[in-house]
Structure 1
Amino acid sequence: MTEYLETPEGRRIAYNRTPGTGPGVVFLGGFKSDMEGTKALALEEWAKRTGRAFLRFDYSGHGVSDGRFEDGAIGDWFEDARDTIAALTEGPQILVGSSMGGWISLLMAREHPEKVAGLVTIAAAPDFTEDGYWASFDKETRHRLESEGSVAVPSDYGAPYIITRRLINEGRERLVLRTPLALPFPTRFLQGTADDAVSTETAIRLLDHAEGPDMRLTLVKGADHRFSDPDCLTLIETALGEVIERL
């Protein structure tokens, strides 16, 4: 059943929580996605089967949480994750971050390592506002973004994404690939080679950049950005099982 949390920032966040043993698992979704996606629901079923505590939620402006997507930025969604995890979980959690959720999980690891017991990322997209959108914009698009405040970018997932000046500028305050990044817990990165949103180079860059005693990157030939066919879902469960074993 969907419930709502009022955060200290005054944002109303929708969530679903499954009781179980700890450390619990928290799913952090992607850019403009929601907690009703295939991976989130599959993990909830896995949690119920295994008796593991599980939390999924919608960032502000996503899904059924309050707010407008176009008003949000990486820092807002990081705060949503931080506040939701702090209010609704006990002790360190295993974070499963998909795409943008991978970036946000890395921010959690950097800013609040005491709340992270382990990490699984799926097509993690750290710093995508800078290295993806801004880097791909030509001079004219950059000028339009700065002067008009937003640009529309075509999406493979439906309507164009509205990329705002605030999203780009605020994202520069949250970059994780430019400064040391410690991941001192079991960490599994999953990445498809047919992903047209996040490259395998990005996954390798993250693996090379982060520091930790127990990190592995698994590349799946032919898997796309959704990473949600039956084999990929099984692989996510396997990665979670490895992290739990090593705790």
Structure 2
Amino acid sequence: MTETESQTSEPAAYFQTAQDQPRLAYLYREANAGNKLPGLFWLSGFRSDMRGAKASFIDAVAEREGRACLRFDYSGHGESQGDFAQGAIGLWAQQALAVFRALAQGPQIVIGSSMGGWVALLLARALARLGEAERLAGMVLIAPAVDFTQELMWPKLPEAIREAIELHGQWQTPAAAFGESYPLTRRLFEDGRANALFGGEIRTFCPVEILQGMADPDVPWAHAMKLLEHLAADPATITLIKDGEHRLSRPQDLTALQKAIERIDAYSRPGFTGENL
């Protein structure tokens, strides 16, 4: 569920949610004067960062179209401070909310990849509770790994590893098998259960576009269909890419991403009826 195609670019700025919290790295592109298009707000996946291929692509889209784009790294990820082992979905979602409210201006299209799709939905719920649902112009969810800790990860772990996590609080993945060693913590799984979204209706209060590869070994396409069923109250569309894998970073995948953004844009146009989708 990771994307590590980091690219060199402008230096990051930093934001703190509170004085005693880690500094979060972010990249912000301002909109051109008078541009009315919604901004693009990027949410990375598990152990991924804001300079990956898809994040860089949406920034390039924003630059061409003169719209704003905001990307950031969760604590323990990329260029942000913080210990990865102390992170969990609830904390990263709180950081997304704080960054969104403090730095993003006007309506936004939230684009979440893998775990970022789960974070995006938690962000939508938090904004609705704050009476700020109108800040979301729409969402594009790429291989959304909703509830992945208990739905996709925990069931695949051997019993011995699950016991080690429960007994010792964490298990260190072997670098040879996972590319680099990192901890799977009891906190991650317990917090994942506390922030689970499946089991009830999921509201975004905005249109949703889902892009899902049918050859994805990490997030099966049936998982994306399950999410679609839970989005019954909001306009939601899924695009299944038959040969698409988890990253969806090929040129044709990025084209599909841009088209999904364009469809979300269409919803905000005056006089939109849905006939052009």
With the shorter chain as reference, the TM-score category is over 0.9
The AA in structure 2 aligned to 1:172 is R
Match of residue 138 from structure 2: 118
Q: Distance in 1 between matches of 2:64 and 2:174?
A: 39
Q: Distance in 2 between matches of 1:154 and 1:237?
A: 36
**What is the alpha-carbon root mean square deviation over aligned residues?**
1.6
- Does structure 1 conserve the Cα–Cα contact (< 8 Å) formed by 2:40 and 2:108? yes
Q: Distance in 1 between matches of 2:254 and 2:174?
A: 27
Q: Could you tell me which of 71, 75, 81 is aligned with 1:60? A: 75
Match of residue 137 from structure 1: 157
Match of residue 87 from structure 2: 72
Higher strand residue share: 1
For normalisation by structure 1, the TM-score amounts to 0.95
Alignment of 1:123-202 (within 5 A): 123-153=143-173, 158-202=179-223
The AA in structure 2 aligned to 1:100 is M
Q: Could you tell me which of 18, 25, 28 is aligned with 1:17? A: 28
The Cα of 1:161 is off from its aligned counterpart by 3.8
The AA in structure 1 aligned to 2:241 is V
The percent of aligned pairs where both chains have the same amino acid is 40
For normalisation by structure 2, the TM-score amounts to 0.85
- Does structure 1 conserve the Cα–Cα contact (< 8 Å) formed by 2:169 and 2:186? yes
Q: 1:174-204: CA deviations, max 9, x gaps? A: 1111222113211100000111110001000
Q: Could you tell me which of 219, 238, 241 is aligned with 1:220? A: 241
- Does structure 2 conserve the Cα–Cα contact (< 8 Å) formed by 1:185 and 1:212? no
Match of residue 107 from structure 1: 122
Match of residue 49 from structure 1: 64
Match of residue 84 from structure 1: 99
The Cα of 1:213 is off from its aligned counterpart by 3.9
The AA in structure 1 aligned to 2:14 is Y
Match of residue 16 from structure 2: 6
Q: Distance in 2 between matches of 1:75 and 1:183?
A: 17
When structure 1 is superposed on structure 2, of 103-112 and 15-24 the one drifting more is: 15-24
- Does structure 2 conserve the Cα–Cα contact (< 8 Å) formed by 1:26 and 1:94? yes
The Cα of 1:169 is off from its aligned counterpart by 0.5
Residues matched between the structures, number? 247
- Does structure 2 conserve the Cα–Cα contact (< 8 Å) formed by 1:191 and 1:219? yes
When structure 1 is superposed on structure 2, of 221-230 and 107-116 the one drifting more is: 107-116
When structure 1 is superposed on structure 2, of 127-136 and 223-232 the one drifting more is: 127-136
Q: Could you tell me which of 234, 252, 255 is aligned with 1:234? A: 255
2:38 partner SS: strand
Q: Distance in 1 between matches of 2:187 and 2:205?
A: 32
2:222 partner SS: helix
Q: Distance in 2 between matches of 1:48 and 1:124?
A: 25
Q: 1:42-91: CA deviations, max 9, x gaps? A: 11010000011110110100000001211110011101111111110123
Q: Distance in 1 between matches of 2:237 and 2:178?
A: 29
Q: Which runs of 5+ in 1 are unaligned?
A: none
The Cα of 1:141 is off from its aligned counterpart by 2.2
Match of residue 27 from structure 1: 42
Q: 1:104-158: CA deviations, max 9, x gaps? A: 0010111213232200000000000111122223433222111111123468762
- In structure 2, the CA distance between the partners of 1:169 and 1:216, relative to structure 1 (3 Å rule), is same
Decide which structure has the larger Cα Rg and report it: 2
